[in-house]
């Protein structure tokens, strides 16, 4: 990895992941795209067997709080999620393409996601609650601070689905597989 970045996984930690759309474009701004993203997330969750503790999807980025997958790394999960969503979106864009207007589609995005993602290891109960509260607060914050869109277009989250008594599109998964680490681990990480 460039710049001496190191990812810590394999310790049973939770991972707070943030990923942005290419050039911060609002590619997740429509309800159809958000639904597609959540469908792909659920498929990846089932395939890689991890627990989703919370998520929020905004027009230009998303946040996830997940457990480690049982067999793979969080990087593999993110690769599968980003690739699965991007392939479907790019296929839909090409399918709607009008041959009479080629110059319009030469400028169509060929990338959906920024190259990397931000991964914060959550290894104490205090940090887990902090990240869940952060996810919870993002939905009303987006609704109040988003002048061009309504609240429903700005963000969708696991919390909004639960509080509105709707069935969440992404299920939490087998919580029994989730281990919370000792708040005072023997290794001294920064």
pLDDT digits (tens, 9 = 90+) for 20-61: 999 989 999 888 999 999 999 999 999 999 999 888 899 999
In a domain, 190, yes or no: no
% helix / strand / coil in the chain, to the nearest 5? 45, 15, 40
Q: What is the DSSP string of 127-161?
A: HHHHHHHHHHHHHHHHHHS-TTS-HHHH-EEHHHH
pLDDT at 109 (0 to 100): 61
In a domain, 1, yes or no: no
Provide the CATH number for the domain around residue 167: 3.30.70.1290
pLDDT at 98 (0 to 100): 66
Ramachandran sector of residue 68 (left: φ over 0; alpha: ψ -120 to 50; beta: rest): beta
pLDDT at 145 (0 to 100): 39
pLDDT at 122 (0 to 100): 93
In a domain, 187, yes or no: no
In a domain, 50, yes or no: yes
170: buried, middle or exposed (CB in 10 Å: 19+, 13-18, 0-12)? buried
pLDDT at 107 (0 to 100): 58
Q: Please choose, from the candidates 84, 21, 19, 74, the residue with its C-alpha nearest in 3D space to the C-alpha of residue 49.
A: 74
pLDDT at 130 (0 to 100): 92
pLDDT at 8 (0 to 100): 76
pLDDT at 153 (0 to 100): 39
Residues 6+ apart with CB under 8 A from 57: 28, 34, 37, 38, 155, 156, 157
In a domain, 36, yes or no: yes
Is the pTM value of this prediction over 0.75?
Answer: no
Task: Name residues of the chain where pLDDT drops below 50.
Answer: 1, 143-155, 160-168, 176-177, 179-186, 188-190
In a domain, 11, yes or no: yes
Q: Could you list the residue range(s) of the whole structural domain that residue 159 is in?
A: 7-177
Q: Are 37 and 28 in contact (CB under 8 A)?
A: yes
In a domain, 2, yes or no: no
* Count of domains forming the chain: 1
In a domain, 45, yes or no: yes
């Amino acid at each position: 990895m460039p710049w001496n970045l190191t990812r810590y996984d394999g310790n049973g930690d939770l991972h707070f992941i943030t990923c942005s759309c290419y050039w911060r474009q609002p590619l997740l701004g429509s309800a159809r795209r958000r639904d597609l993203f959540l469908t792909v997330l659920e498929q990846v969750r089932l395939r890689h067997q991890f627990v989703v503790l919370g998520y929020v999807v905004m027009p230009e980025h998303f946040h996830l709080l997940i457990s480690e997958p049982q067999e793979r790394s969080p990087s593999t999960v993110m690769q599968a999620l980003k690739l699965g969503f991007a392939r479907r979106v790019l296929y839909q864009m090409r399918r709607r393409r009008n041959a009479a207007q080629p110059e319009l589609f030469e400028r169509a995005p060929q990338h959906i996601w920024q190259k990397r993602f931000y991964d914060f290891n959550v290894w104490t109960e205090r940090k887990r609650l902090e990240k869940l509260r952060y996810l919870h607060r993002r939905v009303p914050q987006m609704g109040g601070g988003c002048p061009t869109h309504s609240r429903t277009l700005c963000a969708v989250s696991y919390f909004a689905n639960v509080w509105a008594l709707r069935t969440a599109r992404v299920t939490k998964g087998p919580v029994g597989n989730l281990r919370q680490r000792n708040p005072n681990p023997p290794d001294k990480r920064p």
